[in-house]
Amino acid sequence: MTSRTVAATIERAGDQLPVPLVDLGLQHRRVAHKIFEQVAQVIETTSFVLGPQVAAFEQAYAAFCGVPHCIGVGNGTDAIELALRAAGIGSGDEVIIPANTFVATAEAVVRAGASLVLADCDADYLLDVASLADKVTTRTRAVVVVDLYGQPAKFEQIANIVPESVAVIEDAAQSQGAARRGQMAGSFGIAASTSFYPGKNLGAYGDAGAVMTHDDQLAGRVQQLRNHGGKQRYEHVVLGANSRLDSIQAAVLSVKLSELPEWNRERQVAAEIYEDLLAASEEIVLPRIVDGNCHVWHLYVVRVPERDRVLAELEADGIRAGIHYPRPIHQLPAFAPLATSTGLSNSERFADEILSLPIFPGITTNQQERVADALLRALCR
Ligand SMILES: Cc1ncc(COP(=O)(O)O)c(C=O)c1O
């Protein structure tokens, strides 16, 4: 067998395999050698907690986002909570978030002690500015704005409608490397949070997160809060938490950060390919890039009729699609007190129609064609 025949045989064998929603193994194999080297160094030097790898990653990620401060924390949920607490938000304060987000955004607000208020999303799945304006009251102290699916929210419009006393916090868990009008995601508002959950555009090898900010004092407070309420050992100034970024995770993240621009470019190419493959269908609503945004396609979310049937048929065809997210916050049992929230019709309707197609760095055109074929066939039935 010639090497060309072997390659063709391997590719044909791949044609039979399911197309995953994300392929973390493929990503790991591209950097495995460097990761093992860096992780070995943490182990050999036993610098497990807040070692030099954490400071090095914090500096690199702050520079990447264009802010002076990045504070590594345990996960993206803690990052939101600690940013809120560092901004002085807690009991008696109202915090507005979009209804169509991952549960963590809502959890963090409640854990910070504040009252949750939900606003609707617009046709780009981003916080709807008119709905936000309707929900602001004299008790509103903050809004946590989510860069859902990989593109920044409309921050300048949000700044125009919220009073100056309202803190804007960016939940940039899904927008690592994205930008709006030249400003990097992770640098909007008084503070931004992010998650390095393994499936994120910049994913760790376990849980990890960070808070970014331009504000020196807020940065100092997050540093305190993440480490039992003190910067010095045994000097606990405020009630804090144990939410430090592990040195091993920081070492992994530093290696992967240098690959992130290329991996995001691969996601952008994949999004263009989906657009070419699916644009002719009248039944599929394709995602749009908001004017002024650089989108990094954490998720490629379309809307289709009979979504649950289509999802089941894709699954039967070996296509692993997903739903982000199946229910808006006020329809989750954990947030039952918010069940009577009104004015959230887009979030409610889209939850029944959205479908996330496989997208990840290294997805092949052949895999994308199989996804598109299966989707178009499912929609014809
Ligand atoms: C929008 C959003 N916010 C917050 C989080 C919470 O991050 P973590 O899972 O690291 O706590 C996530 C991650 O899953 C997310 O997608």
* Interval between CA 279 and ligand 1 midpoint (Å): 30
C-alpha 251/C-alpha 63 separation (Å) is: 17
193 CB within 6 A, ligand 1: no
Residue owning tokens 């090497």: 3
Number of H helices, E strands in the chain: 13, 12
Q: Which atom of ligand 1 is nearest to the CA of 75?
A: 10
**pTM attached to this predicted model:** 0.96
Distant-in-sequence, close-in-space partners of 201: CB < 8 Å, separation ≥ 6: 150, 174, 175, 176, 177, 260, 263, 264, 267, 296, 298
* Beta bridge partner(s), residue 303: 285, 354
C-alpha 298/C-alpha 151 separation (Å) is: 8
Mean pLDDT of 27-55: 97
Mean pLDDT of 213-236: 95
* Interval between CA 381 and ligand 1 midpoint (Å): 36
DSSP state for residue 127 in the 8-state scheme: B
Please state, rounded to an integer, the average pLDDT across all residues of the chain: 96
3-state secondary structure of 210: strand
Q: What is the pLDDT of residue 231?
A: 78
Beta carbons of 169 and 153 less than 8 angstroms apart = no
Q: What is the pLDDT of residue 381?
A: 83
C-alpha 350/C-alpha 178 separation (Å) is: 23
Look at residue 6 and tell me whether its pLDDT is greater than 90.
no
Give the model confidence (pLDDT) of 199-211 as tens digits: 999 999 999 999 9
Distant-in-sequence, close-in-space partners of 316: CB < 8 Å, separation ≥ 6: none
Look at residue 65 and tell me whether its pLDDT is greater than 60.
yes
Ligand 1 mutation target, pool 78, 80, 97, 102, most atoms within 8 A of CB: 102
Q: Which atom of ligand 1 is nearest to the CA of 80?
A: 4
Distant-in-sequence, close-in-space partners of 120: CB < 8 Å, separation ≥ 6: 98, 99, 128, 131, 343, 344, 345, 346, 347
Q: What is the pLDDT of residue 2?
A: 53
Question: Closest Cα partner for 156 from 124, 140, 179, 180?
Answer: 180
Q: What is the pLDDT of residue 12?
A: 56
Give the model confidence (pLDDT) of 350-361 as tens digits: 999 999 999 999
3-state secondary structure of 259: coil
Q: Which atom of ligand 1 is nearest to the CA of 208?
A: 10
DSSP state for residue 290 in the 8-state scheme: P
Give the model confidence (pLDDT) of 294-346 as tens digits: 999 999 999 999 999 999 999 999 999 999 999 999 999 999 999 999 999 99
What confidence category does residue 84 fall into, taking pLDDT thresholds of 50, 70 and 90? very high
Q: What is the pLDDT of residue 232?
A: 83
Residue owning tokens 């050992």: 233
Q: What is the pLDDT of residue 267?
A: 98
Q: What is the pLDDT of residue 7?
A: 47
Q: What is the pLDDT of residue 8?
A: 52
123: left (phi over 0), alpha (psi -120 to 50) or beta: alpha
C-alpha 262/C-alpha 270 separation (Å) is: 12
